Amino acid sequence: MAICDLCNDSAGGNSKRYSCAQFRSAVRAGLRPGNTMSAMGAVFGLSTEESSTGWIQQVMSDSSDWVLCGTCAQKADRYV
């Protein structure tokens, strides 16, 4: 079963695949993972800003496609 690359929930039947170029463009336009990334970063003692910066750097250096659940895909489509 596919997992959403943005929220880590099940991608389900409404999943959508984005190329790395599409996803980078959405992130440059302002797409952020929301509370999931902040919560994970807090476990490692990172601030919300540090978590966000690290995530953006990861996205910009990643060359793989991104699979998003239907909810996250709707959010991403506003930025693509």
DSSP secondary structure of the chain: --B-TTT-SB--TT-EEE-HHHHHHHHHTT---THHHHHHHHHTT--HHHHHHHHHHHHHH--S-EEE-HHHHHHHHTT-
**Contact between residue 70 and residue 14 where contact means Cβ atoms under 8 Å apart:** yes
Tell me which of 35 and 73 has the higher pLDDT. 73
- 19-68 pLDDT, tens digit per residue, is 999 999 999 999 988 776 667 777 777 787 888 888 899 999 999 999 99
Going from the C-alpha of 43 to that of each of 1, 38, 53, 54, 79, the distances in angstroms are 26, 9, 16, 14, 29
User: Global pTM?
Assistant: 0.83
